[in-house]
């Protein structure tokens, strides 16, 4: 710069002072307010955050005599003097504050350069001193990598380069399952390089990582994890987005609410979902491995991303009552195989698929040739009910009392015969919401089902794990009128209404239903006692 350039450019900054500097930004009529980096000298002014004073030595072409030295402490004054300079160009010297001396440490400087400016096209160099055999040598070392992989054409980048870059930003030792490299041009322009991991990141086992992608503007890192361009249910994805025209605030920490970010987000999400669809359709075994570790996270999209929830639903894999253990079906396949008379998609939640396969709730479905999805992820209890409907088919919990097709029609004569028993058991078992007959069961004597607005047994267990000890809801006890125990209990009441065994066996049926649903019995000792009495009576 010439002397006049120094006075016009740097002098304006020094004269402004902090208050005037901020006022100038507020009063700017620019559509980019609060402004891009560079406007009003934002980048240069930040030097005073760590420096007591700044010295600039500069000269244009034309000879050493044109050199100028500018000095300021950033408080509103500055000095300019002629000072010969042997080389053309500009040197900026920061006189650091006492609390900023860490920035003199080579390692700290290298760390910051590699974090924020590793991909800047121009080389950033440091002098590196090495002492060997009493001889000290100094050499110039380039710190930044300069190779912004995402700015190159896909045809120019090898799979090894992609894998190396992925490992450097994800700290994963394995290559990614899918690499998505794309650019959007037109009114909105940006480039993105996104990686889908092959397995659940280890960090997710002990902490919940923030979602988002690295956000760059012209190769310079703006945010390490920009959540605005990636929804939380895709937080396992890593990568970068580089956009040239990002409006930033003065602190450079937060992005303005801007339509550009929403456009970037929609494009990124669309490409990620398309990548997952391609992997599911063409690399199924690889997709199964991915889904085993991250399917539960992906399911959050059913409740969080209303615009893409149908696409997310198509990506999900489920074990079901009709699949082999360890094999999967999809919602699309489930609907295609539904019997004509079946109106709903049925599911059952629990802790393990093995436990659910032996559940009494499946008995009637098996008898009708209907399938039931077996859901074992914690998120299922929250995401599936919010999704509610798939291709016009409502999703219905198999252990809820809503649908009449599950309970079945009880013949009037049967209902009349068992009515006195239901009345007696309701009196003996006040902890249940209701007791009724059902066609839901074929082999078991009894089961518990949630009321229309109540919690299922699995949800109640989950809430207690979360610390909600008051999460107790009354459920409905359903009895199978065709089962020998229920019929014998009815006959016992008919012959001797005051027999104490009626209440005892009724409670035994309730405890049995609690065990079958996977919950804990409130009185295990009492259950054991009643069971022993029953066995002893049978053996006599």
- List the chain domain ranges: 3-104, 149-283, 409-540
The DSSP annotation for 198-259 comes to SS--GGGGTS-----EEEEETTEEEEEEEGGGS-GGGTT-EEEEEES---B-TTSSSB---H
Cis peptide bond upstream of 34, omega within 30: yes
By DSSP bridging, strand 345-349 and strand 393-397 are parallel
Q: Are 208 and 110 in contact (CB under 8 A)?
A: no
Evaluate if residue 128 carries a pLDDT over 70: yes
Q: Are 88 and 80 in contact (CB under 8 A)?
A: no
d(CA 194, CA 206) in angstroms, rounded, equals 24
Residues 6+ apart with CB under 8 A from 254: none
- Listed range (200-209, 210-219, 363-372, 377-386) with the worst mean pLDDT: 200-209
Task: Specify the pLDDT at position 35.
Answer: 41
Backbone angles phi, psi at 51, to 5 degrees: -120, 140
Question: With the CA atoms of 206, 212, 216 and 222 taken in that order, what torsion angle do they form, in degrees rounded to the nearest 10?
Answer: -70
d(CA 342, CA 395) in angstroms, rounded, equals 12
Task: Specify the pLDDT at position 461.
Answer: 87
Evaluate if residue 441 carries a pLDDT over 80: yes
> DSSP assignment, residue 330?
-
Task: Specify the pLDDT at position 129.
Answer: 84
CATH code of 3-104, in short, is 3.30.565.10
Helices (H) and strands (E) in the chain, counts: 19, 19
Residues 6+ apart with CB under 8 A from 512: 445, 446
Mean pLDDT along residues 512-533: 91
d(CA 339, CA 489) in angstroms, rounded, equals 36
How much of the chain is in helix, strand and coil states, percent to nearest 5?
45, 20, 35
Residue 245 CA, distance from chain mean position: 28
- Cβ density class 23-48: b for 16+ within 10 Å, e for less: eebeeeeeeeebbebebbbbebbebb
Task: Specify the pLDDT at position 33.
Answer: 40
Mean pLDDT along residues 85-97: 93
Answer with the residue of higher pLDDT: 262 or 258.
262
CA angle 53, 55, 58 (to 5 degrees): 165
Task: Specify the pLDDT at position 495.
Answer: 94
Long-range contacts of 51-56, Cβ-Cβ distance < 8 Å, separation of 24 or more = 51/94, 51/95, 51/96, 51/97, 51/100, 52/95, 52/96, 52/97, 53/95, 54/92, 54/93, 54/94, 54/95, 55/92, 55/93, 55/95, 56/6, 56/10, 56/90, 56/91, 56/92, 56/93
d(CA 486, CA 204) in angstroms, rounded, equals 49
The rounded mean pLDDT for the chain is: 86
Evaluate if residue 37 carries a pLDDT over 50: no
d(CA 331, CA 316) in angstroms, rounded, equals 8
Long-range contacts of 425-433, Cβ-Cβ distance < 8 Å, separation of 24 or more = 425/477, 425/502, 425/503, 425/506, 428/502, 428/503, 428/506, 428/507, 429/477, 429/506, 429/507, 429/510, 431/474, 431/510, 432/474, 432/475, 432/476, 432/477, 432/510, 433/474, 433/475, 433/476
Task: Specify the pLDDT at position 38.
Answer: 45
d(CA 168, CA 149) in angstroms, rounded, equals 12
* Tokens of residue 284, six digits: 């199924």
Evaluate if residue 40 carries a pLDDT over 50: no
**May I ask the CATH class of domain 409-540?**
mainly alpha
Percent of the chain with pLDDT over 70: 88
**May I ask the CATH class of domain 149-283?**
alpha beta
Q: Using 50, 70 and 90 to split pLDDT, how confident is the model at 31?
A: very low
d(CA 365, CA 362) in angstroms, rounded, equals 5
Evaluate if residue 20 carries a pLDDT over 80: no
By DSSP bridging, strand 68-72 and strand 51-59 are antiparallel
Evaluate if residue 367 carries a pLDDT over 50: yes
Evaluate if residue 213 carries a pLDDT over 50: yes
Q: Are 77 and 18 in contact (CB under 8 A)?
A: no
């Amino acid at each position: 710069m010439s002397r006049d350039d120094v006075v016009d450019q740097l002098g304006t900054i020094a004269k402004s002072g902090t208050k005037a500097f901020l006022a100038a930004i507020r009063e700017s009529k620019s559509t980019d307010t609060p402004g891009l980096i560079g406007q009003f000298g934002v980048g240069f002014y930040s030097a005073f955050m760590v420096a007591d004073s700044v010295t600039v030595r500069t000269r244009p072409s034309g000879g050493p005599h044109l050199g100028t030295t500018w000095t300021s402490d950033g408080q509103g004054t500055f000095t300019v003097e002629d000072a010969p300079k042997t080389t053309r160009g500009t040197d900026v010297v920061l006189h650091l504050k006492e609390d900023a001396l860490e920035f003199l440490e080579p390692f700290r400087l290298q760390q910051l350069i590699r974090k924020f400016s590793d991909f800047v096209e121009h080389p950033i160099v440091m002098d590196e001193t090495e002492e060997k055999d009493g001889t000290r040598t100094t050499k110039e070392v380039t710190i930044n990598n300069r190779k912004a992989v995402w700015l190159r054409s896909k045809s120019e980048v090898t799979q090894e380069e992609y894998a190396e870059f992925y490992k450097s930003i994800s700290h994963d030792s394995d290559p990614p399952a899918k690499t998505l490299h794309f650019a959007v041009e037109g009114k909105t322009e940006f480039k993105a390089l996104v990686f889908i991991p092959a397995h659940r990141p280890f960090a997710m086992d002990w902490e919940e990582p923030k979602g988002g992608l690295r956000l760059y503007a012209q190769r310079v890192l703006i945010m390490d994890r920009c959540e605005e361009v990636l929804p939380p249910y895709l937080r396992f994805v890593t990568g970068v987005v580089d956009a040239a025209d990002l409006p930033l605030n003065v602190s450079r920490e937060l992005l303005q609410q801007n339509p550009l970010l929403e456009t970037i987000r929609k494009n990124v999400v669309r490409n990620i979902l398309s990548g997952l669809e391609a992997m599911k359709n063409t690399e199924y075994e690889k997709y199964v491995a991915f889904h085993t570790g991250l399917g539960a996270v992906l399911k959050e999209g059913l409740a969080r991303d209303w615009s893409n929830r149908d696409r997310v639903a198509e990506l999900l894999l489920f074990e079901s009552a009709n699949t082999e253990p360890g094999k999967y079906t999809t919602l699309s396949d489930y609907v295609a195989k539904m019997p004509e008379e079946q109106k709903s998609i049925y599911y059952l939640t629990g802790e393990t698929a093995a436990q659910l396969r032996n559940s009494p709730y499946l008995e009637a479905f098996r008898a009708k040739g209907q399938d039931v999805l077996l859901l074992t992820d914690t998120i299922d209890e929250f995401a599936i009910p919010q999704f509610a409907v798939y291709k016009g088919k409502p999703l219905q919990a198999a252990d809820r009392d809503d649908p009449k097709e599950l309970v079945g029609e009880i013949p009037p004569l049967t209902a009349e015969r068992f009515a006195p028993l239901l009345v007696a058991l309701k009196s003996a078992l006040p902890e249940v919401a209701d007791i009724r007959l059902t066609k839901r069961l074929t082999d078991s004597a009894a089961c518990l089902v949630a009321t229309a607005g109540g919690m299922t047994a699995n949800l109640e267990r989950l809430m207690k794990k979360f610390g909600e000890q008051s999460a107790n809801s009354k459920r409905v006890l359903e009895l199978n009128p065709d089962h020998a125990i229920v019929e014998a209990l009815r006959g016992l009441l008919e012959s001797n209404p005051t027999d104490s065994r009626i209440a005892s066996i009724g409670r035994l049926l309730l405890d049995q239903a609690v065990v079958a649903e996977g919950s804990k019995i409130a009185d295990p000792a009492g259950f054991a006692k009643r069971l022993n009495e029953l066995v002893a009576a049978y053996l006599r």
